[in-house]
């Protein structure tokens, strides 16, 4: 007899006004998030993240609007271990600013990897992630800060 282990899994979808999916969240039998996908308004894939026990874990990816992979992250127990930029998105006007943000983000990731309790670095990383369009990761940082400060 085939197991119904997946019958308790749940998928929650959110939609843009045009009817395309904006976010898909998968939850495991433990009711904790298992994976998450975000999409552009056009319907093309934007980001993929995987979770273990409700924390970012394993590899995560972001894609540009044409489907080209732009970034790969490695997470372990909710912590960013590594970030690999395959391509950077900028034009002639924004190139210096975007490169500075990526450099600062790399510095902050190292600081936070050494000391996860550095709340100032977490806040700045969240702000930079938001500026760079990594909204899920920014939100994850902001929520973690909220939990640590408010309880």
pLDDT, residue 1, reads 30
What would the two tokens of residue 92 be?
Answer: 């002639």
For 49-77, what is the HEC assignment? EEEECCEECEEEEEECCCCCEEEEEEEEC
- Can you give the pLDDT at residue 145? 85
Q: 10-residue block means of pLDDT along the chain (151 residues)? A: 48 96 94 95 96 95 93 93 86 84 93 90 94 90 80 53
Helix 119-131 to helix 135-150 angle (10° resolution) is: 150
Distance separating alpha carbons of residues 38 and 48, to the nearest angstrom:
7
Tell me the C-alpha distance between 114 and 117, whole Å: 9
- Tokens encoding 94: 């924004």
pTM assigned to the model: 0.81
SS3 of residue 13 by DSSP: strand
Q: State the first-to-last Cα distance of the chain, in angstroms, to the nearest integer.
A: 45
Contacts of 11 (CB under 8 A, 6+ apart): 24, 25, 26, 27
Q: For tokens 């994850």, name the residue.
A: 140
The predicted pLDDT at position 53 comes to 92
């Amino acid at each position: 007899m085939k197991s119904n282990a997946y019958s308790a899994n749940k998928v929650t979808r959110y939609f843009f006004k045009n009817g395309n999916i904006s976010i898909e969240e998968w939850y495991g039998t433990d009711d904790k998030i298992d994976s998450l996908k975000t999409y552009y308004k056009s319907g093309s894939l934007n980001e993929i993240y995987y979770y273990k026990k409700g924390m970012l874990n394993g590899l995560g990816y972001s894609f540009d609007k044409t489907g080209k992979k732009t970034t790969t992250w490695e997470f372990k127990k909710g912590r960013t271990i590594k970030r690999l930029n395959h391509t950077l998105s900028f034009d002639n006007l924004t190139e210096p600013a975007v490169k500075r943000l990526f450099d600062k983000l790399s510095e902050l990731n190292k600081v936070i990897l050494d000391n996860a309790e550095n709340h100032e670095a977490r806040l700045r990383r969240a702000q930079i992630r938001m500026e760079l369009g990594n909204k899920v990761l920014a939100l994850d940082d902001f929520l973690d800060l909220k939990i640590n400060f408010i309880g």
